[in-house]
Every structure is written in C-alpha cells, then in structure tokens.
Chains A and B, each alone.
Chain A
Amino acid sequence: MSRGQGMAQFLDNLKAAPRRFAESAWRSGTPNTDRSRSSFVFGNVFLHLHPVRTHRWSLRWSTTWGLGIASVSAFLITLVTGVLLMFYYKPYPDVAYDAIKDIHFVVPTGRFIRNLHRWAGNIMAVSVLLHMARTFYTAAYRKPREFNWVVGMVLLVVTLGLAFTGYLLPWDQLAYWAITIGANIAQSPREVTDALGMTAVFDPGGLQKLLLLGSEDVGAEALIRFYLLHVMILPLVLVLLIAVHFWRIRKDGGLTRPEDADRRVGGPAGIHPSFTEAPQKTYHLAAVVRGRTAAVGRGPEGTVPAMPHLFYAEMAALMLTVFVCLLLSLLIDAPLKELANPSVPENPAKAPWYFLGLQELVSFSAFMGGIGIPAIVILGLALIPYLDRETTGTGEWFGGPGGGRLVAGSAVFGLAAVLLVETFAIRLGWIREWWLAAPQILITLVNPGTVLTLIYALYSIWLVRRHQSGRAGALGLFTCFLCGFVVLTIIGTWFRGPNWGFYWSRAHWPGH
C-alpha cells in the first residue's frame, strides 16, 4: 500500500465518521419500511418499552385523551427543573428559605424554573387523577390488566408523596404548618389508641411520626428526610414503577379496546405489514405476524407501526403538556410566604389543594379524615379489578350495565349527598357541639366523613342489586367518590378561612 492510499483512506473514514457514528448508535437504518420501523423501536433501549405496532383504536384521542403521556411529560418537566433547582437549594432550616428566595429573586431564570417545577408538579397530580378516572371509566383495568391498575395505584400514592414532601422544602410559613399538620395526621392513630387506652403499649401513630420527622417536631431532621425522599427515593421508585407500568401495557396486549374495535375503526389503515424478507423471530415478537405473544390472538389488521404513528401522538401530548406548563409559569408565580415561624401558625394553614379535601375531613376527625377513609378508598380502588370480573363494556367510555345514564345519576346523587352532609355539619356543627362530654371514639366512628362514605357504600350496594352487576356498583361508587373529592376540595380551597371557619368569599375574612 502506498503512502498516498493510506492517507486517502483515512480522510474517507474521517468524512464518514459522523454517519457511521449515527449508524452505530441507531443500529437500524432510516425507518422507512415496516421492517426498519420495527427494529427502530425494539432496537432502542428507550423505545422498546413500546409495542412495535399500535392498534388504531389506541390512537384515537377519545381512547386516552393523552392523559398517561401527559402524566409522564409533567414528570419529565419536574425532573429536569428539579435537578436545576438543586444547584442552589440547601436543605437546612437556617438557609433553605434564603436559598429559595435567591432562586426566586436573584438566580438568572430561577423564578421561571421554580414556577415550572411547581406547576408541572400540579399538572402531574391532575393528569394522574384524570388518567385514573379514564382507565376506570373505560373499564381498562379488567383482565389481564388488573396488575397494571394496582401498579397505577402505587404510582398515584408516590405522586402524592412527591407533592407532599416537596411542599416542605421552601421552609416558609405555608410549608411549615402544612407539614406539621401532615406529620400529626401520621400520628393520628393515637386518636384511636388513646380512646382505647393502649397508646402506652401500642403506638403506631407515634412511630409513623417519628419515622417521618426523625424528631418530635418539624425541624432540621424533618427537612433532610423530606429532601431525601423528594429528590432521591420517591423519584427512583416512580421511574422504576413507570417502567413496569409501560412494559406491562405492551405485555398485556396494548391498550384496552372493545371486541369489535377492528370493525369500528374501519378498513385497512393503508399501511400494511410488508414481508420483504423471511420473517424472523422478532416479527413474531413484534406481532407483525399472527402469534400469541404480544397481540394475544389478534391479527395485525387494525394496527399501524408505532414509528411514526404512536410516537407522533405521544409527541403531541408531550408538547401540549409543555405548553400548558410554560403558560402557567409565565403567568403565575409560585407562592412564597414569610419564613417559617414555629410559634405562630399560618391562619388558615392550608395544605396543597389536592389534599384540601382530606383536610376538610380531618377538621372533623384527624384519624378518619387523614388515614381511615383514604386507606379505605385506596384499598377499595385496588380491589376493583378483582371484584369486577365482567366483560360487557370493556374499552367503552362508561361501559357496563347502566352506562352513561347510571354515571350521570350517580353524579347527581354523589353531589347531593356531599353537599347535604357538609351543609348540615357547617350549619349545625357536629357531636361535640351538642354533647360536650361525648366519648372521642364515637366521633371518630361517626363524623361527616364516615357518614358520607357509608351513604356512598349503601348506594353502591343498591346499584349492584338493581343491575345485578358489580361493575354497576363500581361505576356508582367511583363517581360518588369523585364528586365528594371535588366538592370537599373546592370547599377546603375557597370557602374555608381563618380558624377553618366557613366564609362565602375571601372578602368576608376577618382582618388579622
């Protein structure tokens, strides 16, 4: 080989380096045939959680409203902005507040990043709740997706945990007193153990509070614990569970769709699987050919390649979420009150809005409102897919006996019940106001929260008997609890003022 040839070869390699780098990174060529589109998906560690082909039913907006993707998108925004905030945030009581103030007023783009983090967190809470409602109402939790519904429940709890732990970090009055109340809710099983006179020997409430705060009150120990949970433990758990959640969607055969989805989305999609070469194992895995692995006995008739159809839809949901978060962050600043003052409570001391429904219940009984009823609700929700083993209406909005009319009726009933119980309690007070010496255990057992839960439960049992269907009962119960949650949250947010008194508007609050 002459010297000139070697040099030419080197220059050629140099020129081709960017292209070869791209090839080596992507493993497959341009995704322009069905084969390369598939390998584009399963050849990529991030994309391979997706199916290679997606049913056209799943791509309709009305199937998902993009809510699951909106949840991950909001989570990604909080992840990025959260890491940025960590550049300046210091989790120690004497400097935390100043750090947030610096971020808000001094750090370049700090306020904007902080706003984004705050509002994306809120959007995430909303979209996770709505996503749960959509999977419930389309009966998407049914076999074989029971387990993914349970994973979803844990995701919901972790999402709320992230919101709660993040709330303390600014170390302002709002943060300090909301977390004081939250930590004492963790301690509230004492309301029961005290009433039974056994706190001295069995005190789960005290243990929970101690584990949460690492101390008797909200101080340096609590702040570092909340920080650790907020930036390490809970995000890690969430990422892991999201991976399981997505992987299960694929393994459970894609999104739920009605039996006759193929017929209802119409004729062939125009893009057919093209078998240009001998099918390989991966074709079978990818459900390009008929097989029992991923598409569970269904042919690929109504499906299109995930690349680009599914990815474009996901991108659209992501961009929409980003847009909403950006807009909110430009328009509204994240709140920051005065520095935390352990001897003067914020009045009223309010938790973040998604906990205000619970705070409303807590204002009657700490244990029932803060632990008892939430535990019953979460357990009940987790059990739904194991109790509803029916098949009618799977994949349909409000599918099941009774359908949309039953849901509308339940909404009316649910709203009426919660408004009645609240009006009664606000107007006439509760047991302690009529009978000062009432034993606490009576109030713990009988309070507006438990009464409402009982009314809803009885109504749902009536629905089960009337329609001879567990799904009918579940539809009614879920709708009732949703209405109760919304009404209590609205009352807690807008109609509660100083001393948790009821006020028609902020203008009526006594000056203080």
Chain B
Amino acid sequence: MKGNPIQRVIIAGGGTAGWMTAAALAKLMGNAGVSVTLIESEAIGTVGVGEATIPPIAKFNAQLGIDEHEFVRETQATFKLGIEFNDWGGLGESYFHPFGRYGFDLEGLDFHQYWLRLRELGDARELGEYSLNTLAAYAGKFLKPEPDHGQVIGQMGYAFHFDASLYAAFLRRFAESKGATRIEGKIERVERNPESGLIAALALDEGRRIEGDLFIDCTGFRGLLIGQAMGSDYRDWSHWLPCNRAVAVACGKNGDPLPFTRSTAREAGWQWRIPLQHRTGNGHVYCDAHLSAERAEEILLANLDGEAISSPNHLRFQTGHREQFWAGNCVAIGLSSGFLEPLESTSIHLIQMGIAKLVALFPGSIEAPFERAEYNRLMTDDFTHVRDFLILHYKATKRDDAPFWDYVREMSIPESLKQKMDLLRSRGRFFKYDAELFDLTSWLAVAEGQGWGPEGYSPVANGLSASNLSQSLANMRAVYAKTIDAMPTHQAYIDRFCKAARPARRADAA
C-alpha cells in the first residue's frame, strides 16, 4: 500500500500475549511490509499461570501453520475436553461443562428439549450421558477428531492444558523464524508526541530508544502504555465478580493426566487443577474481603493431588477491562487490556480475539478513528459476553454456607444476563448473539449442572411419541458407548503422537 505510514509495530511485553501477537503479526503481516519488534524484560518476568484453554485456540495455531502434535510435545501439553465443577451448585454436587455438544437434534429441534421431556416422563439419566466429551473425559479417553471420522467423533471439541512459559518460548521461536525481532530491556518511559498525544517511542534502560508507528501493550497488569501513558480508564466489574486474588502452585502428577480441568468451589472462591504431561498446575482464586492470603494458601496446599514442587505464587487482580482497548496508536492485548477470572479459561482466548480483530482492522495510518472505534466496540462485546457467562456460575448457586456465597447468590446482575437466565430456567431456551463465545451447550451445562433449570421443555418436543423418543435416546447412548469403547486412552494417544521429553529439573518446578 503506497504511502502507508504504519510500518513498524512495537510490542511491549513478552508474556503469552506478547508472543502470540508477535507470532501472528509476523506471520500474517510480514509479507505486507510490516516489521515486528518485541521488547521484554527478563528482570520483570511474566504471570506464567495461564495454562488452560478453550477450543478456538486450535484455530489460532492452525492459522499460523503450527503442527498441533509438535505444539503439544513442546509445551508439555495435555488435551482438555471440558471442565468438571465440584461444589458449585451446592456442596457435594458435581457437573461437567463439556466442549462439543449434547446429543443429536431431532426433527430440527434442539436435543436437550427431548431430553427434558424424557426426564419429565421419569427418565433420570443425566445430560452428560449424551455428551461424547463428558463420557470420554470420565473414561480418560481421547481421540483427535478428523474429517473422515464421521458424525459422532465429529461432535468432540477439545482444547489444551499447557505450560504457559513453554508456550511463550515456543511462540517466540516461531515469531523469530518469521522475522520478528526481540529486544531484551526494561521500558523506563513512554515518549508521547506533545501535539498529537500519540506514542512516539519507548525509552529503555541504558539510554536506548525504540521508535514505532503502532504500539501493542502486552505489559500485563501494569498496562504501562495503555493505562499509565494513554490514560485509558479501567471499567471495574468486581461487584459482579468479586474474586480479586489468586495463589498458584505446581505439584507432582499423580497417575496419568486426565483430559479435563477441575474447578472446586471453596469457601470464598474456587480452586483449579490443570493436569500437564510433566506436572499438575493448581491455584486458588478467592476474594480477599472474605479470606486471608494465608488461609487461601493453606486451603490450596491441603488440597493438592501430589507434593508441591514450586513455592506458592500470590497474585492480585481486578476484574474488568479498559474503557479503550485501543487508544491513539496503542492497542492493549492480554492482561493490560482487562481481566476476567480464569473460571472458564477465557483469557488466552480474549488475547486471540484481540489479535484477530487487530489483523482484521489493521490501520492504514497512525490515526485510524473508525477502525479504533470498531475494535473497542467488538472487544467490549467480547468481554461483556464472557462476563455474563462467568457471573452465571456464581448467581446460579444454592450455596448458603459462607458469606461469600450469600453475596454472589443475592447480588443483582446485569439485565442482559437476567433475561438469558430467565429463558433458560423456564424451558431451556437460548439465543446466541453472533459474536458470543459460549453457546447453548455451555449455558445449559452450567444452568442444569447447578440446578438452575430448565424447569419445562418446549411443547414442540411433544411431536415424538414417548416410545419413539425413548428409543431414539437409547440409540444415541449406545452409539456414544461404542465410540468411547473404541477410543484410545488419553495417555495412550499422547504416548503415540505427542509425548513430551522429560523436562529438566528446573522447568519441572516452574
């Protein structure tokens, strides 16, 4: 493009966000005359806790041309079929939020409407019995669906658990091979043009100065460019999602890794367990108004599968997002742009969304008001949709055993969510916004799993006779059972296609 002034993209920060952005821009924009430079400081380090993902990440890797098995091998990854939620609806209760979908639609009507009808007729089988993902997860099985595997395996959705620092290193190698340049150094000052207010350069230690046209802020919670320099305010959502701290620790693995994340509700938050090939990641997300850091750590350490192999890492965060994700010539991606607690593993996905939108709206010149406005609108929508889904988990609880749960159960919720919850509760109805990430399966899994409904079903489901219905659903169960039988175990699949090398001792304790 002749006379286009955006030639130099400077990425500040080399955590997951920085290297994902660098990899994508180097690969996709490199041929279009854009140079990519990333600045990071080993002295500052990364958060390093983002380890669980959701299915769209496979698309990101595929777009970059990354071989999936190689990626799994290099990052000590395992496959993830969904999340098990314990003690969320009520103490002692458990459910599974699967990727993929439930059953097969019949006569054009959503499967779950038939399942609801059958339940009303007295059949107590759970929704999970019609989810290939749920069945495979609990059987410890996995098979990557391929186009010629047919309709049943085609229902399987999967993502990964991986070691965040290995993923960043993997992407770094990739980005550098595509022409991205890395500069080691600490950003000390952000220089802005006094007239336009735009960022002109980043001043590093040792008097170095890096100029650019477009700056991507991937400096994590600090938001060095977007917040401190460009003054983009933070929209706080902690009244709806009050957890604001976490403590993370790695432990040794206990047997073969299971292909799912576990989330167990605790007295003022919840604990995650993420199985990798070489270790298990654990963390406790909590609200400091209801629990001290010492107690949170104690609860975490008392509930590990194996011996702790790292020291507990305490983190603080604030739920919400920047009012302007893109301000002037600065785009915030990753933690600098906002944060929603990792209950549904959405942060890396939001990074991916930020990158995809940036590529789609890549500005022609330094001032790009319309592209910027659209980017901000779309990212705000993405954050809002995810926020509502996360709040559902808290609002739809029956727990009344601790003040934290009383608060979230009783709190008022956004109108957009209220309407969705009402519809789900009455007859399992759901309308997805075009850009909404979580679909019917997800909303249904959580609502049903936490006892929020649905209470009735669509009368359209009466179109099948009871005996026909019962037979159809029995056939589905049989098909799923046969498919699961034929699948390899998760560990066998890893051993065969993507087993990682044993890590050096230091990485083991990451």
Q: Report whether chain A binds chain B.
A: no
